[in-house]
A = this chain, B = another copy of it.
């Protein structure tokens, strides 16, 4: 039964969020595979039975968590975007923020990668994951668009490509950081500095054969 509440219409949602936060803490610590509902409840101030009062299912809780998690990160770089007045400043601020979020919120990030990978196996996770992935892509694209404006050069990559490339080096840095590799975060900043200009470059013709890159008016590939 959906439980009809009278006065406290949002007390219900508040509890759901409270549980979601405990769940995210636990999932970030243990990962999807090793997290049980009892462990989540133990990390909250409630007992294990309460989960089924607020969520039908373990999967509904997890999906709710993923969506709840999204709300935190959509605007992570928007301040950098707004405050930067030059392209250099934007790149440096962006790189610094990427590094910062890895060292501050590593458990959340590894959880995101865990859940995204789980969605490759569990079809019921795909909808929520696809939605967040889209949101993250847009978040990155706002950075690229602003970078393009400040540089006076139109963007040369698609939003998907920009996100894929940045996500790759981000994930690598996260893994390196968690594995204890010393230079992981500094390398990420360097790689971002080198990558950003490429996101503006127009697509090269059929493989650059010579040093001086050709400039095609419109991408021949795509």
Contact = CB atoms under 8 A, between A and B. Distances in A.
Interface of A: 30-34, 86-88, 91, 110, 113-114, 116-122, 126, 130, 133, 151-153, 157-158, 160-161, 163-175, 178-179, 187, 190-191, 193-198, 200-201, 203-204, 206-211, 213, 221-222
Main secondary structure of the interface of A (DSSP, over half): helix
A33 B118 contact: yes
Contact of A221 (B87, B116, B168, B190): B190
A171 B112 CA distance: 14
A173 B213 CA distance: 27
A209 B126 contact: no
Contacts of A153: 208, 211
10 contacts: A31-B117, A113-B120, A114-B120, A117-B117, A119-B175, A161-B187, A167-B172, A194-B204, A197-B213, A200-B208
A39 to B, nearest CB: 13
